A = this chain, B = another copy of it.
């Protein structure tokens, strides 16, 4: 039986190598006074930013520029929103990795407000954002967060009392997601690996989520298929191959669409608190935890007996997919689940995903992380001991 479901609007998607050039035709639909939010480095280094500005100038667009380094903190968003509040900005364009596209999303939502973003963050403030925003175009330069298609912007305050929380509203889904895989070619392999694992985690967690629908299932599966064939290559010999980068960009887009509509699981339930307490890139957290979390989820579902079967079947589907075999034989579910587990172990190793200890987390921090962890839409209940095991296995 197909369950009841809701599916939020997706952005207008423009996808393909060289599509950045369409930006200049899209801008006038929104106005002429644009705020660009970009990262600190890559876009400028690659010469792309120069190309963009020369195009903007030739079209006589008025534009302002803000650079974002690291994952966006509330103070940065407040500062930028305040600065541009009275400047009649008609369009915000964010070009960069997930931090930048999330920052752009948050800025576009906070320019029309009068107070701090902290008041609207889930689990931090007491207000609910009403979705009013300046139109927003997201242009990703990494294949990872899928932020170009999601309804939330993740905002971080890192430290002992730190948090990593979302500003969320259906209307914060970008108006346009312009995805040009050429922009991803310069992305270094360690970042491609972390982002690719983040995308795969999002697809997998959405696929096994009890909040999923046939629509999110089929989109998530389609994304995982492309990651399976291209992830290792995108982080090594295929880094400059546009076909490989295109496949990863597509998978990342699918991950954003599916997480927005089916939710996520324990890996993201841990990535929030870990990312708030420690300065570790989000993709690294997801990548390093995924295999362990998946194996424990499978174990817990196996312990449930018949009531865990539907959940196991979902994991088995992914095992079959990774094996490249197109059909699941009845009775082989456990076998396919273990194929999934050891394939993910292999990726963790091949992609050299760092352990948490490398970033200064040690055994005495585990309790605090577990305390703050959430299960989100994990397909099976995990107790504190289970969550602790996931972390310790990747310390």
Contact = CB atoms under 8 A, between A and B. Distances in A.
Interface string A1-32: 11111111111111111110000000000000
Nearest to A170: B12
A59 B366 CA distance: 52
Nearest to A11: B9
Contact of A219 (B5, B219, B325): B219
A221 interface: yes
Contacts of A18: 4
Interface string A222-261: 1000100000000000000001001100100010000000
A218 interface: yes
Nearest to A217: B222
A7 B10 contact: yes
A297 B219 CA distance: 28
A16 B1 contact: no
B1 A7 contact: no
From A19, A214, A254, name the one whose CB has the most chain B CB atoms within 10 angstroms: A214
Contacts of A1: 243, 246
How many subunits of this chain does the assembly comprise? Answer: 2
A174 to B, nearest CB: 10
A57 B226 CA distance: 51
Contacts of A15: 2, 4-7, 213
A215 interface: yes
Contact of A6 (B13, B325, B326): B13
Interface in A136-188: 170
Q: Which 4 pairs from chain A and chain B are nearest by CB?
A: A4-B16, A326-B327, A7-B13, A218-B222
Given A4-B17, A215-B250, A326-B326, 17 more contacts: A2-B226, A2-B243, A2-B246, A2-B247, A2-B250, A5-B16, A6-B12, A6-B15, A9-B12, A10-B10, A12-B170, A15-B213, A214-B222, A214-B226, A326-B327, A326-B328, A327-B327
Interface of A: 1-19, 170, 213-215, 217-219, 221-222, 226, 243, 246-247, 250, 254, 325-328
5 contacts: A3-B16, A5-B16, A12-B170, A218-B219, A326-B328
